[in-house]
Amino acid sequence: MNNNLKEQVLRMSGVNPLKCMRCGKCSATCPSYDEMEYHPHQIVYMVEKGEIEKLMASPSIYKCLSCFACVERCPRDVEPAKLVEAIRLAVIRQQGQNHLKAKDIPDLIEADPDLPQQALVTAFRKYTK
Amino acid sequence: MVYHYYPGCTLKTKAKDLDRYGRKSMEALGITLTELENWQCCGGAFTMAKDEIATKLSSVRALADSRDGVLVTLCSACHNVIKQTNYAMANDAEFAMKANNYSKFDVPYNGETKVMHYLEVLRDVVGFDNLAKAVKNPLKGKKIAAYYGCLLLRPSKALQMDNPENPKILEDFIRAIGAEPVLYPYRNECCGGYMATEDQSVAAKKSGQVMDSAAEMGADMIITACPLCLYNLTKNAPGHQIPVYYFTELLAEALGVKD
């Protein structure tokens, strides 16, 4: 367990995982639930336990759609998406760890010329530093 | 009242119809949208981390430049990012301090500007009753499914647009232009968003669910305010035949100002 990383994630996100009452509503409402190895309610508990490195290595952190469903619907205002974002940032803020690279963009546009700019700028903001 | 208008990146490129019909219709309703000078892309997504400053500065500039009026957005993503940034400027003192320290505005900005989505201008300034009176070609008999997606309503604490779970602003709009709204369970669920760049199959699954849900309830067409929703619903949900339009296109048609 890396307390330094846990503190960093809590500070960045502003989330207090101890408020969670484990109702599972975040996972029940998450549109990416099926794509995730660790689901939103598990992520909250894992952060509480300090298992940040395990989460940083998981593809689950790139599956969040930023749809704010779990933020809106959490009855305890834990707002799990903020944890997912902080963990992803803890990864991509490291040197050479961008999940989407600028050199990948031309291929994406070539694959589908109809892809709107909004998709690219949003993906770039989420996956790249 | 000055209505500053923030079109955003996609309305200048892939979503020109959303922009063009939006401006024409508002003009026909007696409100001029004045495009903000030197606006910069909002980035498409609000970065939730409290220590992210630079990614929010383009929104802060647009907000600070609109202090003498209202800032109107049309794209769902711009609306979401700019309203969340404004909420943070008003409620997160440390973020506001850092953004102001960097920006060096003549007068510090702390979230004073009112941000309105185009639909809110229709509802709160024009009024849906007045809109209904201005309609020349009512879309009679059309069954229209309103698609809110994720960005128009959530998080409601910052966006304060409508009830996030049982919204009615788009349904009221549909009634005002003479058509019949169709309610369906997936109207405020995500289309898969930018996941189209990461894993197209996820976007296809999410968009397919939305299309199936609207079709099941008997919709002839779907309307949206979001270029990425329109893209996912039309391109990443193969096998679905319901047409998807920007709501401004139907508005322009109803007002008789569509080319």
pLDDT in tens, chain A (129 residues): 677 999 999 999 999 999 999 999 999 999 999 999 999 999 999 999 999 999 999 999 999 999 999 999 999 999 999 999 999 999 999 999 999 999 999 999 999 999 999 999 999 999 999
State the pLDDT at residue A17. 98
For chain B, the average pLDDT equals 97
| Packing angle of the helix pair B16-28, B247-255 (nearest 10 deg) | 40
Delimiting residues of CATH 1.20.1050.140 domain(s) in chain B: 2-119
Q: Is B20 helix (H, G, I), strand (E, B) or coil?
A: helix
CB distance B222 to B233 below 8 Å: yes
Q: Which of residues 177-196 of B touch A (CB under 8 A)?
A: 189-190, 192-196
Examine the pLDDT at B113 and tell me if it is beyond 80: yes
CATH number corresponding to B2-119: 1.20.1050.140
State the pLDDT at residue A3. 78
Say which residue the tokens 């070609």 belong to.
B137
Please report, for chain A, how many H helices and E strands are present, in that order.
8, 0
Q: Give B70 to chain A, closest Cα distance, Å.
A: 24
Alpha-carbon distance of B96 to B119, in angstroms, equals: 28
Question: Regarding beta strands B221-224 and B143-146, do their DSSP bridges make them parallel or antiparallel, or are they unpaired?
Answer: parallel
How do the domains of chain A map onto residue ranges?
A: 3-97, 98-129
Contacts of B69 (CB under 8 A, 6+ apart): B1, B2, B3, B4
Q: Tell me: the pLDDT tens digits for B122-168? A: 999 999 999 999 999 999 999 999 999 999 999 999 999 999 999 99
Closest in B189, B197, B202 to A123, CB measured: B197
Alpha-carbon distance of B212 to B241, in angstroms, equals: 10
State the pLDDT at residue A1. 64
**Which 8-state DSSP code applies to residue A66?**
-
Q: Give B13 to chain A, closest Cα distance, Å.
A: 8
Query: Taking CA atoms, what residue in B is nearest to A113?
Result: B14
CATH number corresponding to B135-255: 3.40.50.11810
* Top-tier CATH class for A3-97: mainly alpha
CA angle B199, B204, B206 (to 5 degrees): 100
Alpha-carbon distance of A59 to A38, in angstroms, equals: 9
Q: Is B28 helix (H, G, I), strand (E, B) or coil?
A: helix
Helix (H) or strand (E) holding B45: none
Q: Give B230 to chain A, closest Cα distance, Å.
A: 10
Q: Tell me: the pLDDT tens digits for B188-246? A: 999 999 999 999 999 999 999 999 999 999 999 999 999 999 999 999 888 888 999 99
How many CB atoms are located within 10 Å of the residue B86 CB?
Answer: 25
State the pLDDT at residue A84. 98
Q: Is B59 helix (H, G, I), strand (E, B) or coil?
A: helix
Closest in A31, A118, A127 to B189, CB measured: A31
Give contacts of A85 with chain B, Cβ < 8 Å.
Answer: 47-49
Closest in A35, A118, A126 to B228, CB measured: A118
Is the Cβ of B204 closer than 8 Å to some Cβ of chain A? Answer: no
Roughly how many angstroms between the first and final C-alpha of chain A, as a whole number? 26
Alpha-carbon distance of B228 to B232, in angstroms, equals: 6
Determine the residue type at A94: Q
- Six-digit token string for B82: 């700019």
State the pLDDT at residue B259. 82
Residues β-bridged to residue B244: B222
Delimiting residues of CATH 3.40.50.11810 domain(s) in chain B: 135-255
Q: Tell me: the pLDDT tens digits for B14-61? A: 999 999 999 999 999 999 999 999 999 999 999 999 999 999 999 999
Residues β-bridged to residue B33: B3
